[in-house]
Amino acid sequence: MEIFKSIFYFVLTGVFEIGGGYFIWLWLRNGKSIWYGLAGAIFLVVYGVIPTLQPPSASFGRVYAAYGGIFIVLSILWGWQIDNVIPDKFDLIGGAIALIGVLVIMYYPRG
């Protein structure tokens, strides 16, 4: 159950980081209202807090290293679903490799 909770926090972290960056992107690059920028800033602050909800035994470096793999996969999915950029086989292979890294870094039993 602890692993599912941890994965939930990783996905939530990614939604806030990618969503926050996307709102700022829309504001600065696509000329959207300043409110997009402010919403993006708030999302990015929340993104900074969510990883602290990971299990107490997980160190900062390990959490952020593992999150990097989750971020890769979520970014591919975001691009596909939000920007309509269909991932190619290399995106999928890279995402799978990143997820294997997540499993090893974060969840492999240590003695």
Domains contained in the chain, number: 1
Overall residue count recorded for the chain in this entry: 111
Residue type, 107: Y
Non-local (6+) Cβ contacts of 62 within 8 A are 105, 106
Least Cα distance to 73 among 23, 19, 26, 11 occurs for 11
Asked whether residue 100 carries a pLDDT value surpassing 80, the answer given is yes
Which residue range(s) make up the domain with 53?
2-107
Average confidence (pLDDT) over 68-74: 97
User: Where does the pLDDT of residue 110 fall: very low under 50, low under 70, confident under 90, or very high at 90 and above?
Assistant: confident
Instruction: Please compute the mean of the pLDDT values over residues 1-16 and round it to a whole number.
Output: 94
What value does the mean pLDDT take over residues 24-36? 97
Note whether 71 and 18 are within 8 A (CB). yes
Q: Residue 111: is its pLDDT beyond 80?
A: no
- Rounded distance between C-alpha atoms, residue 44 and residue 21, angstroms: 7
Closest CA to 96 of 76, 82, 110, 78: 76
Neighbours of 21 (CB within 10 A): 16
Please tell me the pTM assigned to this model.
0.89
pLDDT at residue 64, as a whole number: 95
Report whether pLDDT(10) > 80.
yes
% of the chain surpassing 90 pLDDT: 93
Whether residue 1 is predicted with pLDDT greater than 80 in this model: the reply is: no
